[in-house]
């Protein structure tokens, strides 16, 4: 690509452009790279792009290029700047073939999305705390029942009743119920910490149901898991549980006359799909595409941020959300997670 064209692109763009050859050597870098990384363009020209990324990001970018060599790419990578601070950069990558000789080059557009990522994380934390507050009344009721049982058994023991061992077992079970509920409530209010590993879907669904069981009971709704559930996905457990909480909670709130919320899992060759189906009034076809837009909601007291945050979390996991009408009644939310080696 002629230098004068690159200069024109640099002058008329807010981001940073980089030109690299097919081997990954950096041939041209816009001067504005210094604003992103603290390094001058002259410090970087002649080096190779993979020298500036973590091994994990290098592997990720190479995989993207190998899978679809001719297609444009859009990847996020972490770069350590000159001050030792990690900067999250969005990279839009295109292949360019020179007319003379047919040599391949890579044209990369960099944009700092560190602030955007921090804002998204703040929104997720806010939504997590909002959900915890909304569930508090139901959870208080769910905790009060085992506490009442414990008080009754303690009074019986105080009165000197026999068969103490039987009562001790029941009391321990009631304490375990309280512990499970409070643990889940504390879990969703924890700060985010990116920690991805292989997780079993069954365990995450069970833990989400513990938290939402009280709200479901208050509306005469049964939470049902269609067995067997055998799938595993590589994910951040906290974030995917947030997604499941958002969607199951939405399903509960969509049903005013009781019914069933059903969760099922289908393991395919290339993906693991989670289905959440409700028996509400369903979502009109003409507004399905609007779900996920900021502050668009079908609820009187909703903010519309739940689905938006859900989509952002799924996007970071290279997963997708499909929303469709249930053929029988209500809506189906389908989460599609690609199979990932870890």
| Residue 304 DSSP class | S
d(CA 5, CA 216): 61
Q: What is the pLDDT of residues 188-222, one digit of tens each?
A: 656 555 678 889 999 999 988 888 888 888 889 99
Give the domains, in start order, of the chain with CATH numbers: 3-112 (3.30.450.20), 117-338 (3.30.565.10)
Cα 331 versus chain centre, distance: 21
Q: pLDDT at position 9, please?
A: 56
Q: pLDDT at position 262, please?
A: 92
Q: pLDDT at position 171, please?
A: 79
Q: pLDDT at position 291, please?
A: 57
> Tokens 């989509």 belong to which residue?
311
Q: What is the pLDDT of residues 81-135, one digit of tens each?
A: 888 888 888 888 888 776 656 678 888 888 777 777 767 667 666 666 666 666 6
First to last CA, the chain: 39
The answer to whether the beta carbons of residues 45 and 25 sit under 8 Å apart is no
Q: pLDDT at position 264, please?
A: 92
| Residue 298 DSSP class | S
The answer to whether the beta carbons of residues 88 and 76 sit under 8 Å apart is yes
Q: pLDDT at position 202, please?
A: 92
The answer to whether the beta carbons of residues 146 and 214 sit under 8 Å apart is no
Task: Name the residue among 59, 63, 62, 29 with its Cα closest to residue 43.
Answer: 29
Positions in the chain short of pLDDT 70: 1-15, 69-71, 98-102, 118, 120-121, 123-138, 141-142, 163, 183-194, 282-306, 341-342
> Strands across the sheet with 221-225, in order?
221-225, 259-267, 271-277, 331-338, 320-325
Residue 319, token pair as written in the block: 């997963």
Q: pLDDT at position 7, please?
A: 59
Q: pLDDT at position 295, please?
A: 41
């Amino acid at each position: 690509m002629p230098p004068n064209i690159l200069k024109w692109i640099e002058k008329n763009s807010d981001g940073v452009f980089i030109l690299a050859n097919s081997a990954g050597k950096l041939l041209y870098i816009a001067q504005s790279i210094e604003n992103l990384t603290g390094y001058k363009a002259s410090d970087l020209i002649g080096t190779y792009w993979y020298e500036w990324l973590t091994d994990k990001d290098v592997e990720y970018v190479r995989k993207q290029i190998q899978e679809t060599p001719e297609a444009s790419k859009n990847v996020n990578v972490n770069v350590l700047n000159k001050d030792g601070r990690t900067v999250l950069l969005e990279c839009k990558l295109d292949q360019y073939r020179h007319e003379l000789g047919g040599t391949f080059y890579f044209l990369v557009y960099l944009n700092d999305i560190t602030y955007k990522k921090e804002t998204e994380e703040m929104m997720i934390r806010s939504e997590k705390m909002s959900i915890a507050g909304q569930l508090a009344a139901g959870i208080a009721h769910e905790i009060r029942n085992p506490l009442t049982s414990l008080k009754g058994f303690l009074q019986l023991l105080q009165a000197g009743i026999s068969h103490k061992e039987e009562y001790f077992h029941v009391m321990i079970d009631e304490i375990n119920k309280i512990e499970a509920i409070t643990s889940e409530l504390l879990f969703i209010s924890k700060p985010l910490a990116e920690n991805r590993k292989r997780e079993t879907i069954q365990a995450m669904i069970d833990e989400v149901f513990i938290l939402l069981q009280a709200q479901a009971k208050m509306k005469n709704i049964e939470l049902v898991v269609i067995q067997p559930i055998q799938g595993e996905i590589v994910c951040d457990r906290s974030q995917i549980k947030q997604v499941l909480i958002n969607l199951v909670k939405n399903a509960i709130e969509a049903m005013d006359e009781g019914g069933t919320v059903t969760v099922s899992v289908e393991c395919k060759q290339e993906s693991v799909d989670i289905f959440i189906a409700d028996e509400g009034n369903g979502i009109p076809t003409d507004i399905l595409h609007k779900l996920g837009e900021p502050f668009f909601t079908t609820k009187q007291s909703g903010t519309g941020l739940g689905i938006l945050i859900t989509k952002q979390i799924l996007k970071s996991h290279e997963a997708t959300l499909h929303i469709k009408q249930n053929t029988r009644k209500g809506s189906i939310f389908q989460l599609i997670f690609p199979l990932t080696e870890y």
